[in-house]
Amino acid sequence: MALPYKRIIVKIGSNVLTQADGLPDAARIEHLVAQIAALKAQGLEVIVVSSGAVASGRSLIKISDKADAVTSRQLLASVGQVKLLTLYAELFGQHQLVCSQVLVTKEDFRDRVHYLNMQNCFRALLQHNIVPIVNENDVISVTELMFTDNDELAGLIASMLDADALLILSNVDGIFNGDPKNPASELIAEIAPTTTSFSSFVTTQRSQFGRGGMITKCHMAHKVAQLGITVHIANGKTDNVLPRLLQEDVANTRFLPNKSASGKKKWIAHSESAAKGAVRVNAGAKTALTDATHAVSLLPIGVVSIIGEFQKGDIIRLLDEHEKPIGLGIAEYSSEKAQERLGQKNQKPLVHYDYLFINT
């Protein structure tokens, strides 16, 4: 029985799109495009988050090993993005489909108005049956502007577009309870929303050509699943992996979704880098806020201290008494007023539960 998805994000990792020598695998890309075209023919909306620009650039120009690493990446991405999108356009054209290019940076997700404008653009593309090809703008994304990797970007896009599922294509079958290269390790078929730690069984080793590792994928996938979006991690080099995944006919790890969150909460969940300040809460407030069975607001009586300055409408971080992050929210009033009301009863919530995302 086919999984009941209507809108999916397909993230294609660097190790799927590249050969052992680091150059693009055109045959693999062609096979993936054919699979996406088949899904489109079935009526699915598909957004592709694709790595591969740097690898494509590497196939066109050579850069000295002594060159600055950041500058080299910018140069390869700038040249390679043209080749990569040209290839995608040609391959989708063979299936009578049009694709578009969407290059983004982390900064694009921080401003709420900019976020909504980007969301409207994606929706217009989907309404016209266009396949968006999304990638980080590596030409200007350096240091603090960079995503951890394209898994983080894919999670942001999935949340923004209220996708039914995010399919992460890697070079392994999914999450194992040990080193995937060890025959004794077993594939974990499902990961529940209540899972809180992955470090005990997930290797921290990074992929050969990508920036992130499996531990990064797990944390991102868990956050996206908390927002009501199913996440699958599968091997992108498996033949017909996408249709087989949707037919539940291929090995993969599925992160089971929690109850669906509002669009506002999905934005808040990924807005830590935009936080203007923080508040420390006492043990009682932490217990109430992290109770999944009840939705509660953060009241001043539960706040121990204010860290930094913020205004009404700013994103703020919520910390426990040991300064461990427990969530994010939108401040209902400024840090100055919050300081005045610190620990007081019968006061307006500092963060209303409608604008509160708790890490669970």
DSSP state letter for 207:
P
**Antiparallel, parallel or unpaired: β 190-191 and 131-136:** unpaired
312 marked as part of a ligand binding site: no
Which helix (H) or strand (E) is 214 found in, with range?
A: helix 214-226
359 marked as part of a ligand binding site: no
Phi/psi at 94 (nearest 5 deg)?
A: -65, -20
What is the three-class DSSP state of 181? Answer: coil
| DSSP bridge partners of 344 | none
Largest CA distance in the chain: 66
Nearest to 10 by CA among 39, 43, 53: 39
51 marked as part of a ligand binding site: yes
- End-to-end, the C-alpha distance of the chain in Å comes to 31
Q: Cβ(163)–Cβ(47) under 8 Å?
A: yes
276 marked as part of a ligand binding site: no
What is the three-class DSSP state of 73? Answer: helix
Residues 6+ apart with CB under 8 A from 216: 148, 149, 151, 152
| DSSP bridge partners of 50 | 12
Is the dihedral angle over the CA atoms 326, 331, 334, 336 positive or is it negative?
negative
Going by the annotation, the residues of the binding site for ATP are 11
Going by the annotation, the residues of the binding site are 11, 51, 138, 150
Going by the annotation, the residues of the binding site for substrate are 51, 138, 150
